[in-house]
Amino acid sequence: MEAFALIRAALSLPLAPLQYVVSWPTNFIDNVKSAISTHDDLVNENLSLKAEQLLLRSQLQRLIAIESENNYLKALFQSSKQVKGKTLIAELLAVDFEPFVNQVVLNKGTRDGVFVGQPVLDATGIMGQVVSAGPITSRVLLINDPRSGIAVQNVRNGVRAIATGDSYSGKLRLMYVPNTADITVGDVFLSSGLGDRYPEGYPVGKVISANKDPAHQFAEVYLQPSARLDSSRQVLLIWSQ
């Protein structure tokens, strides 16, 4: 019996390399499949992590935007407390993008008591006035529109002027200011209340340039509007006392 076992072992020994050669492709393919599977899993996991990261970034930006909007609404609410008269918060529905036209459309109209000529403010200053009103919407001419005009007064020394919109810069320009007028960069101008369009004492703009050329009769004075004309989404409609 032992002799038979020895003979069988001796006969199987030459077959071992052949069995290894036969089984090697199968083992190799299994290893390749395992490597591919592991690679695919890593790729899918990487894609999933990237998608999750993008989602978290998007949520973070949304939270930042909500916080910014809440802070703005708080400032707008504080501004409404300083207004002498009734106020109503409105939201922008549309913005005109025509050249040299600076107008916006609000979601409030005549059924809310809105009227033509009504002043409009945001949390930081005067934005403009209503130029047309329908039942549920109204159109506002911004103060930086070239057809706009507002009576202003220098906080520092009381110098009065008229500020109009500048077609090219989107800023405000003081009209017919003599070269001798005491106006310098950094001066703040408020609404003077003259002209019966805007209430008195609300921020209009700050002087960003004052060019007094002796060759010209009037100085070139430009203001940066106090109101966030390009970014405010909520505004105040006011009824002055």
161 lies in the same domain as 209: yes
**Bridge partners, 106 (sequence order):** 92, 138
239 lies in the same domain as 125: yes
pLDDT of residue 46: 80
pLDDT of residue 26: 61
Task: Specify the 3-state DSSP secondary structure of 235.
Answer: strand
Tell which of 36, 64, 82 closes a domain. Answer: 82
> Environment class of residue 122 by beta-carbon count within 10 Å: exposed (0-12), middle (13-18) or buried (19+)?
buried
145 lies in the same domain as 200: yes
Going residue by residue through the chain (241 aa), what tens digit of pLDDT does each one get? Answer: 555 455 555 555 554 555 545 555 666 566 656 666 677 777 777 877 777 776 666 565 555 545 555 555 555 556 555 566 688 889 999 888 677 789 999 999 999 999 999 999 988 899 999 999 999 999 999 999 999 999 999 999 999 999 999 878 889 999 999 998 999 999 999 999 887 688 888 999 999 999 988 888 899 999 999 999 988 888 999 887 6
43 lies in the same domain as 160: no
Q: Which of 89, 92, 67 is nearest to 78 (CA)?
A: 89
113 lies in the same domain as 211: yes
90 lies in the same domain as 199: yes
pLDDT of residue 86: 81
pLDDT of residue 203: 92
63 lies in the same domain as 144: no
Residue pair 203/226 in contact (Cβ under 8 Å)? The answer is yes
123 lies in the same domain as 224: yes
**Looking at the 3D structure of the chain, how many domains does it have?**
2
49 lies in the same domain as 124: no
36 lies in the same domain as 98: no
97 lies in the same domain as 201: yes
Quickly tell me which residue has 């369009």 as its tokens: 197
pLDDT of residue 186: 94
**Bridge partners, 119 (sequence order):** 129
Quickly tell me which residue has 């999750």 as its tokens: 52
143 lies in the same domain as 235: yes
pLDDT of residue 193: 87
Domain harbouring 150, CATH code = 2.40.10.340
**Residue 45's domain spans which residues?**
1-82
Tell which of 64, 82, 100 closes a domain. Answer: 82
Tell which of 51, 82, 113 closes a domain. Answer: 82
